[in-house]
Structures are given as structure tokens and as C-alpha cells.
Structure 1
Amino acid sequence: MADNVDDANDLVLLHLAAELAKAKPSLPPLTGICYYCDALTDERFCDADCRDDYEREQRKILMRKRG
């Protein structure tokens, strides 16, 4: 039987998981195409510039959503 400490710990873990999910954007799945410029690639992005530009755009979108 769970006591108050166990219940509180479960609640904290739930809140932590929710905050981590909001804080860390999930990476898009591998498709063989760059997510920024649509070039063929074995990775998510064809180079660091495309990755940085994509992340910058995602941060802008997130900022607009949060206000």
C-alpha cells in the first residue's frame, strides 16, 4: 500500500516528465530528406547550417505559442 510519500513522489515525477516534454523539443524522425532544405541525406539535416536554421525557426514558433 502506498503512503503519502510515495503518492507525493509519483506526483513530482509526473510533473517533471511533463515539464521535460515541454522543454525539450522532439527531433523529427529520419526520412532521408533534410528537414530544412529538402536535400537527400542520411541524417535529419544535410549540414549544421540547416540544423541551426531549423532549430531557430522552431524556437521562434515556440516563443509565439508561449506569448
Structure 2
Amino acid sequence: MADNADDASEMAELHLAAELAKPKAILPPLTGHCFYCHTPTPERFCDADCRDDFERDKRRILMRKRG
């Protein structure tokens, strides 16, 4: 018979497996420019604001497609 610790451990493993099974986000390729504002940068985005704006716009497009 399982005790609370065993149940909690099993639930934690199930949650971890579910998180690992989620599809990975598709990131834009490194181009030498910010993917959102096109400013030269060695990263995908020049700062967190551009990254957040890109993600917000991407969610907005997905919501429009879903109706």
C-alpha cells in the first residue's frame, strides 16, 4: 500500500513527464538581427521587450486563427 510520499513522488514524475512531452517552442533562426525590430544583435532578440512583443504578437495570431 502506497503512502503519501509515494503518491506525491508518483504525481511529481507524471507532471515532469507531461512537461517534457510538450512540443518545444520553435525559435527564429539567428540572423545577426533582432527578429522583431531588426536591430543588429548576436542574439535572436535585442532585449526582453522585443522578445515579449514577438511572443504577444504570435499568441494574437494564433487566437485569430482559432476564431
Both structures adopt the same fold (TM-score exceeding 0.5): yes
C-alpha separation in 1, matches of 2:66 and 2:39: 31
Gap regions ≥5 residues in structure 2:
1-21
Aligned length: 48
Q: How does the TM-score come out when normalised to structure 2?
A: 0.62
3-state secondary structure, aligned to 1:64: helix
TM-score where L is the length of structure 1: 0.62
Provide the rounded CA distance (Å) in 2 between the counterparts of 1:37 and 1:28. Answer: 13
Instruction: Report the counterpart of residue 49 of structure 1 in structure 2.
Output: 49
Q: Which residue of 1 aligns with 2:66?
A: 66
Q: Residue 32 of structure 2 corresponds to which residue in structure 1?
A: 32
* Local SS of the residue matching 1:50: helix
- Corresponding residue SS for 2:49: helix
List runs of 5+ in structure 1 lacking aligned partners: 1-19
Q: Percent identity?
A: 70
CA RMSD of aligned residues (A): 1.9
Offset, 1:47: 0.3
